[in-house]
Structure 1
């Protein structure tokens, strides 16, 4: 699998992802990797409809992603992997899948989370997962769209509390 972008954005496929990131990365498939989303038939349907013309969209569980990641059928597939939270990325990495970089988009505010930026809110579990990913040598960068300047997520996190 030719993973062109790994992105955490709990909005999943939306205007920026569907147009700007897809065009910039030259992908042909968007794969949403989430056990929660994969169980929601309505959300799966809507995500398939949100994909830009000519780009396939799939929603899979983490176990399914582990099963198909090295499958010969997807060897040359140019994909964007979308996640709702860093814990799901961590599960793939712990299972042996390696990424060089993770882009952090939006993580909405909810009970038990603190705002890091105006679009990223974190729980203690989120912080732990990001620290694990960073410890694995994965670049963690924040950008809403490709034209934005890369911001080092760990620099932001060092000022968090």
Structure 2
């Protein structure tokens, strides 16, 4: 399996993902998994512009991402998967995609969220998805950039 990193980040591909994480982990493909963005040409264009030169980008709905990963389509690449919400990764895990660790980056504040750190804001549904991922034995961490300490997300949720 070629999944090198998995990240929840509401901003998807941006400076931290495109430059810091991709460089540190020597990523060859960023996969954005989002059922809505696949139909939004403007957002897809922005993601393409944010992707570093020499790194491939896939923007896929959950079902196609799962099928491609399980079929071994990316086995020769170093894959970094990014989604806005933890539910996306729960759906993928329930469909058979093996995740060891999911890193949580920025999750923006809204009227429905509560803050668990200066950059991570969760809804009740996010908490349920994180708890379900944790119950599957997937390690959940919070780390904005590679040079930051890694924190246990489940302890932050308490």
Instruction: Please classify the TM superposition score into its range, dividing by the shorter chain length.
Output: over 0.9
Deviation digits for residues 100-148 of structure 1 (CA, Å, limit 9, x no counterpart): 0000000001121111111111111000000000011111001111111
Task: Write the distance in 2 (CA, Å) between the matches of 1:115 and 1:67.
Answer: 34
Unmatched segments (≥5 aa) in structure 2: none
Task: Write the distance in 2 (CA, Å) between the matches of 1:85 and 1:73.
Answer: 24
Is residue 23 from structure 1 mapped to residue 5 from structure 2 by the alignment?
no
Deviation digits for residues 79-115 of structure 1 (CA, Å, limit 9, x no counterpart): 1000100000000011111100000000001121111
Counterpart of 2:54 in 1: which secondary structure? coil
Aligned to 2:42: 42
Counterpart of 1:69 in 2: which secondary structure? helix
Task: Write the distance in 1 (CA, Å) between the matches of 2:85 and 2:141.
Answer: 14
Q: 1:48, 1:58 within 8 Å by CA — same for their partners in 2?
A: no
- The equivalences for 1:64-79 within 5 A come to 64-79=64-79
Q: 2:70, 2:97 within 8 Å by CA — same for their partners in 1?
A: no
Root-mean-square deviation (CA, aligned residues, Å) is 1.0
Aligned to 1:82: 82
Counterpart of 2:70 in 1: which secondary structure? coil
Instruction: Give the TM-score, by structure 1 length.
Output: 0.95
Aligned to 1:109: 109
Question: Residue 22 of structure 1: CA displacement?
Answer: 0.3
Name the count of aligned residue pairs: 158
Structure 1 residue runs of 4+, over 6 Å off? none
Question: Residue 66 of structure 1: CA displacement?
Answer: 1.4
Task: Write the distance in 1 (CA, Å) between the matches of 2:115 and 2:84.
Answer: 16
**Cα distance 1:88–1:72, how it changes in 2: closer, same or farther (>3 A)?**
closer
Q: 2:33, 2:88 within 8 Å by CA — same for their partners in 1?
A: yes
